[in-house]
Amino acid sequence: MKMNRLEKLFIRSPLRAFVLRKFEAPRVLTNLNLASGGVCLEVGCGIGVGTLLINKYLDCERVVGVDVDPDMVASARRYLSHLPGWAKGIRHDNIEIVSEDASRLSFPDGHFDAAFHFAVLDHIPEWAEVIAETYRVLKPGGTYAFEEFLLSPGFQGRWGHVSFAERDIRAALEKSGFAIESFETARRLPRCFVRAKKKGLNNDVRAG
Ligand SMILES: C[S@@+](CC[C@H](N)C(=O)[O-])C[C@H]1O[C@@H](n2cnc3c(N)ncnc32)[C@H](O)[C@@H]1O
């Protein structure tokens, strides 16, 4: 689902980049124990701030950011070709931004070592299919980490966002075959930080 003009204004703002950098990315992207040289996916990459932060925290061979909105894809490519001051020194030559619907990705099965997203699922009515599709494109043992809003149905009605509760996300992850490693909810804001693994590598994942 494409964002409205007001939402795009916010997503393109330095304030959004600041919140991602200072509060969300450190929580999603640290202590993942990922091997160096992996191929990483960011779903719903917006203007590409997350793709840079993936490179800041992880040693990736390649980072692919996908977004369904060609307007955001163009913004991301512009953003990455004129890096803001905070991103100077962060690798960006290995980032590719593509226009794709995350519920129907063109990548083959088992293509990525890790997948991430920030504040995306409430924009996608078929969000559970995004989780299933992410499972498909991850390698066995692949890491899935994200931050999402847990919106009340009242908010959804007013703003046209999709609402889901913790139990809905847990059910979709488990139905797809993910083993949930952690599911934390923020203390003050209706947000969750989730880590899961695609089962299948030496049975080294525990059900959460
Ligand atoms: C609220 S923005 C978040 C952008 C960025 N992750 C951030 O945190 O700043 C949600 C993004 O998801 C994208 N999006 C919505 N539906 C999508 C879909 N089906 N597939 C891929 N991207 C989608 C939107 O175009 C938008 O860029």
The structure's pTM equals: 0.93
156 C-alpha vs ligand 1 centroid, how far in Å?
A: 16
CA atoms within 13 A on the CB side of 109: 3
Using CA atoms, how far apart are residues 198 and 200, in angstroms rounded to an integer?
A: 7
Helix (H) or strand (E) holding 52: helix 49-57
Helices (H) then strands (E): counts for the chain: 8, 7
pLDDT of residue 159: 66
pLDDT at 208: 34
The answer to whether the CB of 16 is under 6 A from ligand 1 is yes
- The rounded radius of gyration (Å) of the Cα atoms in the chain is 16
Edge-to-edge strand list for the sheet holding 38-43: 95-99, 60-67, 38-43, 112-118, 138-149, 191-198, 178-185
Residue 28 lies in a domain: no
Contact 110, 104 (CB under 8 A): no
Select from 15, 4, 23 the least CA-distant residue to 186.
23
Residue 74 in contact with ligand 1 by CB distance below 6 A = no
207 within some domain? no
CA 204 centroid distance within chain: 23
Does 67 map to a domain? yes
> Which range marks the domain in which residue 174 is found?
5-13+37-198
Ligand 1 atom closest to 71 (CA): 25
- Please give the torsion angle defined by the CA atoms of residues 41, 42, 46 and 51, in that order, rounded to the nearest 10 degrees: -80
Per-residue pLDDT of the chain (208 residues; tens, 9 = 90+): 778 888 999 999 999 999 999 999 999 999 999 999 999 999 999 999 999 999 999 999 999 999 999 999 999 999 999 999 999 999 999 999 999 999 999 999 999 999 999 999 999 999 999 999 999 999 999 999 999 988 766 666 566 688 889 999 999 999 999 999 999 997 778 899 999 999 976 544 443 3
CA torsion, points 88, 83, 112, 46, in degrees to nearest 10?
Answer: 140
In a domain, 84, yes or no: yes
Q: Under 8 Å CB-to-CB from 56, ≥6 apart: which residues?
A: 25, 29, 90
Q: Is the CB of 127 under 6 A from ligand 1?
A: no
From the alpha carbon of 101, which atom of ligand 1 is closest? 20
Residue 180 resides in a domain: yes
| 23 within a domain of the structure (yes/no) | no
How many domains is the chain partitioned into structurally?
A: 1
Q: What is the pLDDT of residue 205?
A: 40
Provide the pLDDT for residue 200.
Answer: 78
Distance 195 CA to ligand 1 centre (A): 19
Instruction: Return the CATH number at 109.
Output: 3.40.50.150
**Binding site membership of 40 for ligand 1 (Cβ less than 6 Å):** no
Contact 37, 89 (CB under 8 A): no
